[in-house]
Amino acid sequence: MLKKAGDYAYFFVRVILKMLDITDREGPADKGSYISDFHLNIQENLDRSISARLRCTPDAFLSLTGNKKKANYFLEVDRATESNRRWQDKVRGYVEYVLSGKYYEKFKSEALRIITVTTTQERLNNLLKTTKRVKNADFFLFTTFRQIKDNNVLFGNIWKDSATNSLTRLVKF
């Protein structure tokens, strides 16, 4: 049983690595050509806080590069131990970080998604509702541990988008 946030982050990263290594899994017909060109960069020890005013530190930073495109993700592993108020503060911290230009300064990219993996569908809906209360918080994606375990993490429509409230896939290039 996974008990710490680091265990969940490790689980998620292992699932992605497994998918990058296997090109003949079921999925979109064009997936194999993407997979062979992907490179995954994982950074778990980020600066202690990305926001000066609102403390929030992602559990991991993931960068996928393929087909001359790059996608950056901050991973949040939610074990349903934080209050809605604390989650809302984290969301504000991420929005502040992006809008301030500090994210671009550090990563030289404007593309960022905050991917959040949580315990249940009910908790996911709660986090999504709380996220939508924050202005400009339109770059968050949510899924559950069960969805990750049972589906294709990269190409499955398992990620609930805070901007559209619809399911989407993590990788679209």
* Tens of each residue's pLDDT in the chain, 173 residues: 345 545 555 555 555 555 444 333 333 333 333 333 444 455 544 555 555 555 677 877 887 777 777 788 888 888 899 999 999 999 999 998 889 888 888 888 888 999 999 999 999 999 999 999 999 999 999 999 888 878 888 888 999 999 999 999 987 75
Give the list of residues 6+ apart from residue 9 with CB closer than 8 angstroms, or none. 44, 59, 60, 75, 77
pTM as predicted? 0.76
pLDDT at 75: 86
d(CA 117, CA 143): 5
The token duo for 45 is 């020890």
pLDDT at 37: 43
d(CA 101, CA 26): 39
pLDDT at 22: 36
SS3 call for 138: coil
SS3 call for 124: helix
User: Which of 22, 54, 2 has the alpha carbon at shortest distance from 152?
Assistant: 22
The token duo for 104 is 């671009």
